[in-house]
Structure 1
Amino acid sequence: MLETATNKPPVDPQIEEEKSTPLFSEVWKSFRKNKLALIGALIVIFLILLAFTASFFAPEGINEQKLSMRLQPPSADHWFGTDDFGRDILSRVMYGARISLRVGFIAVMGSIIIGTLLGILAGYYGKVVDMIISRIFDILLAFPSILLAIAIVAILGPSLRNALIAIAIVNVPNFGRLIRSKVLSLKEEEYVVAAKSIGMKDSRILFHHILPNSLAPIIVQGTLSIATAILEAAALGFLGMGAQAPEPEWGRMLSDSREYIQDAPWTVIFPGVAIMLTVLGFNLLGDGLRDALDPRMKH
């Protein structure tokens, strides 16, 4: 009798392995099959390492002027050439990676926090709360993002910090509307209805049940938005409303070198290529994460 009670039906090893496979492993397995996504990840990793190690590997100081060496073409001494003040462009591009990535990550993090909070409140409570927050999103989206960013910086004053604030504000509706739509579907799920029925507080439902199940689209949108934020920061810097001289921000470097585009094209080419590769890397990474995290994209 004891032997019968302890007997268990055989378990298929393949089924048991599938049950025990962590979500991260599944996402990574899907992600690494996407070659373009891996290229994007490598570009992003390279840029992050470049930003962290600029102090050690930059050939010269970012503001070290050698007027006798101004506008020198690329050579063994200056791989990317020099600008109109004789400063080493390679060093400035390396330090520029630090500025651009900082702007991208901090601005997007601010957008995620504010947009997610507003989106959760709008989607969960609905009615008047939803109407007010949705109208705020509509007003912000009624303006082209770069024009709205320019207007905000014009009010606050031109600086890298104010450009960062402006970029964060213009990207809030993207996350807010994304999370709102996700919450509208999640709040009808059985586990949320059950949590409400037992009297669980709204704050616990929102931050322990709904928010964790909304992280996948936030991660994807956040990665893609970093590319957009870096591009907007470069545009503001080019217009003189972002980073101010002598900061080695890529957009500012393009603005300072535009009058030498014919005589010294390398002063424009290398900062421009840096912007292009950075935006490309984050876009490829974001597309790969979207395909890996969205079950509907799996074949």
Structure 2
Amino acid sequence: MRYLAGRLGTLLAVVAVVGLLPRLTRTDPALTILHARYADRPPTPETLDAIRAGTGLDGGPLSVLGGWLGGLLRGDLGTSWVSGQPVAPDVTSALGVSLTLMGASLAVAVLLAGALVAGTLRRGARRRITAARAGAVAAVLAALPEFLLAAVLAAVVAVRLGWLPALGWGTPEQIVLPALAMGVPAGALLGRLLDDALPAAFAEPWARAATAGGLPGRRVAGHALRRTLPGLLPQLGLVVVGLTGGAVAVETLYAVPGLGGTALAAALAQDLPVLQACVLFLLLLGVAAGLATRLAARALLGPALRDGALPAPVAPPLPARRPLVAGAVVLALLFAAVTAAGLLRDPDRVDAALRLAGPSAAHPFGTDSLGRDVLARLGHGAARTVLTAVAVCAVTLLLGLVLGALRAGPLTETANALPAILAGLIVAGIAGPGPWGAAAAVTAVAWAPLAAHTSALYAQERAAPHLAAARALGAGRWHLARRHLLPAVLPPVLRHAVLRVPAVALALASLGFLGLGTPAPAPEWGRMLSENMPYAERAPWSVLAPAAALAALGALAVLTTAALRGRAARDRKAAP
């Protein structure tokens, strides 16, 4: 009951903010309605006052909020400012489409995650595991922009090969390509996190005892999987909501009438009643997903939380660090060299005679649709995209650790119910598009996965018997936090934060792709993809360069975290 009461209180607070969106926007709602419905009428004060009176916008903030909440209690989601039709039928239909697409995408994600960790499970069951195996493959797949993967699948599978339809919704064949575009990055992220946690489970005493006692390797692998799932189930809940509300670009490219596309159209048209309804449904979905994953985690842990029977995490076997460090250094140097070479060039110089020119000595990465050097724009865009992503991740790491330790579950689930793209739409509707608004929107929601991970690890560590023993010996809260909780929680969350750098960069690129980030003509990876996507078949280098940069950033993140993990394991092994 306390859990539900906390979620309900946070949900009501956010719903109140959503209800006040007409008062938070920079534009006059009456002017928006006038332009949408009566384009031929002049915006006289009398006309605007009449529109406000007819739509209930003539009162103060409390009056507007009360009217919206009263409509919700009657099942009325309001009337569209643009079409003048009730919002509920269209938004409910869009929710059904998004839930169907989410289910198919989640199936793809689970299957891919299982395939990525299959090798780790086999090696762990045979006691031959040395480190996580998914590594760079999962990082590259997770760093693929969903909109780029969707465009490539549509161009190759639908247009070139003609195997599946490229647009529309309503038949099973039309679900496949959008589900693959959304499910592959999500499955790569889940597989990478699970693969990162399995070596520690296989290194615990119970696994060694079970193997020595003759327990079949398949059963040992099954128990190791169950041991690691409770700490990762919150991430699955976050993925569920992200697949529903974060599919804006994919739904737009495939003409899928889902909730994300509906929210994008409403935000761009300033149709706030439709946007309010979309956000409300996403919030409810986030609460439902959080409750389901919490119940599933408690069922998997069983009596361990009550009896203190859960073993403490054990350091995984030491991986071979030199190849990891060498790979990270080589990739970092290559990344830095490309960025430095681009920074030495002019990113805004236009040469119409060299539009969409191929790679050459003068332009190693070719030129874009305006004749601008792709290498120059890639290098200058790295300074914007990567540095902003690193700064956002640093802030979200601090927020995640603090709010996760405070067990701010309701706030975490509510923040996750607003994917970065949708948060960007809301921020753009209030403050207008721009780089600071995009960074603020991503920061406002990107801390939620880290907080959920921190909270899960914190609960898991508190159930360990060595913590009860330390309390019995008179250890205080500061000692427990400094010597037990922080060393167990901080390293995996820090690795998770580093792994989130490509995801944050991808979120910033997605906002730039939708025109909500850095305005033109400033170079930014998402805007590069958006500007050159129509020419992908004729000039693939203009799209492959920023896409490869995002993928390389993901590989660099996973190599760096693996090297840090190996160093930590070596230090713990060398400690007396």
Given the two structures, how large is their TM-score scaled by the length of structure 2?
0.39
Q: How far off is 1:28 after superposition?
A: 11
Q: Distance in 2 between matches of 1:63 and 1:43?
A: 27
AA matched with 1:80 = F
Instruction: Give the 3 Å change call, closer, same or farther, for CA 219–45 of structure 1 in structure 2.
Output: farther
Q: How far off is 1:229 after superposition?
A: 0.8
Match of 2:334 in 1: 46
Deviations 1:23-78 (A, max 9, x none): xxx99962526x56753553245324544x35xx6452122233343332221211
Q: Residues 104-183 of structure 1: matches in 2 within 5 Å?
A: 104-122=389-407, 133-183=408-458
Task: Check conservation: 1:186, 1:192, Cα contact below 8 A.
Answer: no
Match of 1:221 in 2: 496
Q: Over aligned residue pairs, what C-alpha RMSD do you find?
A: 3.4
Match of 1:193 in 2: 471
SS at structure 2 position matched to 1:86: coil
Deviations 1:245-294 (A, max 9, x none): 12211111111122333443322222222222222332454456567757
Match of 1:230 in 2: 505
Match of 1:81 in 2: 366
| Paired residues, number | 254
Q: How far off is 1:90 after superposition?
A: 0.9
> Which residue of 366, 375, 380 corresponds with 1:95?
380
Match of 2:526 in 1: 251
Q: Distance in 2 between matches of 1:44 and 1:191?
A: 44
Match of 2:103 in 1: none
Question: Structure 2: any 5+ residue segments left out of the alignment?
Answer: 1-314
AA matched with 1:39 = G
Does residue 32 of structure 1 match 2:342? no
Q: Distance in 2 between matches of 1:146 and 1:191?
A: 46
Task: Check conservation: 1:28, 1:292, Cα contact below 8 A.
Answer: no
Q: Distance in 2 between matches of 1:31 and 1:223?
A: 20
SS at structure 1 position matched to 2:365: coil
Task: Check conservation: 1:120, 1:183, Cα contact below 8 A.
Answer: yes
Match of 2:551 in 1: 276
Q: Distance in 1 between matches of 2:317 and 2:530?
A: 40
Q: Distance in 1 between matches of 2:400 and 2:559?
A: 23
SS at structure 1 position matched to 2:445: helix
AA matched with 1:30 = P
Q: Distance in 1 between matches of 2:329 and 2:418?
A: 32
Task: Check conservation: 2:424, 2:516, Cα contact below 8 A.
Answer: no
Instruction: Give the 3 Å change call, closer, same or farther, for CA 45–116 of structure 1 in structure 2.
Output: farther
Q: Distance in 2 between matches of 1:68 and 1:164?
A: 36
Match of 2:542 in 1: 267
Match of 2:352 in 1: 67
Instruction: Give the 3 Å change call, closer, same or farther, for CA 82–58 of structure 1 in structure 2.
Output: same
Larger RCO: 1 or 2 (CA < 8 Å, sep 6+) = 1
Does residue 239 of structure 1 match 2:528? no
Q: How far off is 1:95 after superposition?
A: 1.8
Deviations 1:111-159 (A, max 9, x none): 111111111122xxxxxxxxxx211112223344543444344444322
Instruction: Give the 3 Å change call, closer, same or farther, for CA 262–185 of structure 1 in structure 2.
Output: closer
Q: Distance in 1 between matches of 2:425 and 2:566?
A: 34
Task: Check conservation: 2:384, 2:524, Cα contact below 8 A.
Answer: yes
Q: How far off is 1:87 after superposition?
A: 1.8
Q: Distance in 1 between matches of 2:540 and 2:567?
A: 40
Q: Distance in 1 between matches of 2:320 and 2:388?
A: 26
Q: Distance in 2 between matches of 1:118 and 1:45?
A: 35
Instruction: Give the 3 Å change call, closer, same or farther, for CA 59–44 of structure 1 in structure 2.
Output: closer
Instruction: Give the 3 Å change call, closer, same or farther, for CA 148–36 of structure 1 in structure 2.
Output: farther
What is the percent sequence identity of the aligned residues?
28
Q: Distance in 2 between matches of 1:67 and 1:90?
A: 17
Match of 1:16 in 2: none
SS at structure 1 position matched to 2:515: coil
Q: Distance in 2 between matches of 1:114 and 1:225?
A: 14
SS at structure 2 position matched to 1:211: helix
Q: Distance in 2 between matches of 1:105 and 1:191?
A: 39
Given the two structures, how large is their TM-score scaled by the length of structure 1?
0.71
Q: Distance in 2 between matches of 1:81 and 1:28?
A: 46
Q: Distance in 2 between matches of 1:69 and 1:190?
A: 70
Q: Distance in 2 between matches of 1:284 and 1:88?
A: 30
AA matched with 2:362 = D
Q: How far off is 1:184 after superposition?
A: 2.7
Deviations 1:9-30 (A, max 9, x none): xxxxxxxxxxxxxxxxx99962
